[in-house]
């Protein structure tokens, strides 16, 4: 006669303590748990996370689950034995309902996607059950039905990630894998600050369009192109320039000058650059960088149509107006003709100096 042998799987972490306590009262419990299916193991872990291994708690649980051995004996006289046996033979749904009370559909499916290992802490099971017990979390419960797997990281993401992100299961999966919850929350707040159109409903519609690869670059670009609250630019001392102080203005200028200004909106929102349009009939785009005092700006580059090279006089005219507007420049000293001879003598190729 060949014995039917099940491959045992170890019990690790916090469930080992209550499992040993039950084993002392009901020998054989740990063996059954070692050989149990992943679904049964997760059900037992969920119950042990909620129900303490005490006489009072075990008796209350057995009362809720309606445990009865069927032989007419008083099962509650030895609650630990009945408790251990009940965990191994009763329907998993009945056990979870007895421990946590009524819950919406989906909790048992979530337990079934955890695997054979327990979640890191008992609180993770309590949080998981909360998603399916409270109406305020019904969006998170809906998302849990579609995630690839459920883990401690998944529960943490659903607890801490902005609810607008959690409506997309692909985002939840990627956050659980990469741990980018704080970064995504910060990014969403950034969009809210800089886009008056970024209402919760509008953002939710955009988030739901993010696909299984979790590529959210298109999502961010969509909202950058709608930004209308730009950081403050320079205080200009003349009227020769038009600040490009909105995404619409940058996109329009990029289209007219046939350049990549539309891709620089995020840099401006982050305060790394600012752009001016020179209002002369010839037209030019001036790129500025902020200085450390928080008020001054440095001219980085001047761009014409199609980013084509500018004639010297054209460039000098723009630079003159830039200086008059109170913008700093970093220039090559070789442009000071009185120093040409010294520059050649000293062998300086690209000496730099400040011009204020």
pLDDT at 104 over 90: no
Q: Kind of pairing, strands 328-332 and 352-355?
A: antiparallel
Are 179 and 153 in contact by the 8 Å Cβ rule? The answer is: yes
Q: Which of 63-67, 224-228, 245-249 has the lowest mean pLDDT?
A: 63-67
- Sheet of 274-278: strand order equals 241-243, 274-278, 284-290, 297-303, 328-332, 352-355
Q: Please give the pLDDT value at position 73.
A: 40
66: left (phi over 0), alpha (psi -120 to 50) or beta: left
Q: Please give the pLDDT value at position 333.
A: 52
pLDDT at 34 over 90: yes
Q: Please give the pLDDT value at position 8.
A: 85
| Percentage above 90 pLDDT, the chain | 78
The domain limits of the chain are: 1-133, 161-229, 241-355
Only one residue has tokens 């972490």, namely: 13
Are 197 and 184 in contact by the 8 Å Cβ rule? The answer is: no
Q: 356 falls in which pLDDT band (50, 70, 90)?
A: very low
Q: Which of 45-54, 162-171, 181-190, 326-335 has the lowest mean pLDDT?
A: 326-335
Q: Please give the pLDDT value at position 64.
A: 92
Q: 345 falls in which pLDDT band (50, 70, 90)?
A: confident
Q: 340 falls in which pLDDT band (50, 70, 90)?
A: low
Q: 2 falls in which pLDDT band (50, 70, 90)?
A: low
pLDDT (mean) for 87-102 = 95
3-state secondary structure of 12: coil
What are the CA-CA distances from residue 330 to residues 16, 126, 255, 308, 337 (Å)?
Answer: 68, 61, 28, 21, 16
Q: 72 falls in which pLDDT band (50, 70, 90)?
A: very low
Q: Please give the pLDDT value at position 213.
A: 77
pLDDT (mean) for 111-121 = 95
pLDDT at 205 over 90: yes
- What would the two tokens of residue 326 be? 């109170």
Are 257 and 306 in contact by the 8 Å Cβ rule? The answer is: yes
Q: How many CB atoms lie within 10 A of CB 340?
A: 12
- Could you tell me where the DSSP H helices lie in 38-151? 38-50, 55-65, 79-89, 92-100, 107-112, 122-133, 138-144
């Amino acid at each position: 006669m060949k014995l039917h042998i099940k491959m045992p799987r170890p019990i690790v972490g916090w469930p080992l303590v209550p499992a040993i306590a039950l084993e002392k009262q009901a020998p054989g419990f740990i063996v059954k748990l070692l050989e149990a299916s992943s679904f049964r193991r997760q059900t037992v872990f969920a119950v042990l996370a909620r129900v303490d291994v005490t006489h009072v708690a075990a008796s209350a649980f057995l009362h809720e689950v309606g445990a009865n051995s069927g032989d007419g004996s008083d099962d509650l006289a030895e609650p630990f034995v009945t408790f251990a046996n009940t965990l191994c033979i009763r329907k998993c749904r009945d056990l979870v309902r007895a421990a946590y009370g009524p819950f919406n559909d989906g909790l048992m499916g979530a337990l079934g996607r955890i695997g054979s290992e327990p979640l890191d802490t008992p609180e993770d099971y309590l949080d998981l059950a909360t998603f399916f017990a409270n109406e305020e979390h019904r969006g998170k419960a809906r998302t849990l039905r579609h995630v690839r797997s459920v883990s401690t990281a998944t529960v943490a993401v659903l607890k801490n990630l902005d609810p607008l992100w959690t409506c997309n299961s692909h985002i939840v999966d990627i956050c659980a894998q990469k741990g980018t919850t704080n970064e995504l929350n910060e990014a969403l707040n950034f969009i809210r600050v800089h886009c008056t159109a970024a209402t919760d409903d509008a953002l939710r519609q955009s988030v739901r369009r993010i696909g299984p690869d979790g590529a959210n670059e298109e999502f961010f670009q969509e909202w950058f192109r709608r930004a209308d609250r730009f950081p403050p630019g320079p205080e200009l001392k003349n009227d020769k320039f038009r600040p490009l102080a909105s995404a619409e203005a940058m996109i329009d200028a990029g289209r007219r000058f046939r350049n990549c200004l539309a891709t620089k909106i995020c840099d401006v929102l982050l305060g790394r650059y600012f752009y001016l349009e020179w209002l002369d009939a010839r037209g030019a785009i001036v790129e500025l960088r902020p200085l450390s005092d928080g008020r001054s700006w440095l001219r980085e580059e001047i761009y014409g149509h199609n980013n084509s090279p500018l004639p010297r006089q054209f460039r000098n005219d723009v630079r003159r107006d830039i200086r008059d507007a109170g913008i700093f420049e970093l220039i090559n000293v070789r442009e000071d003709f009185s120093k040409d001879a010294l520059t050649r003598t000293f062998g300086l190729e690209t000496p730099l100096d400040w011009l204020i």
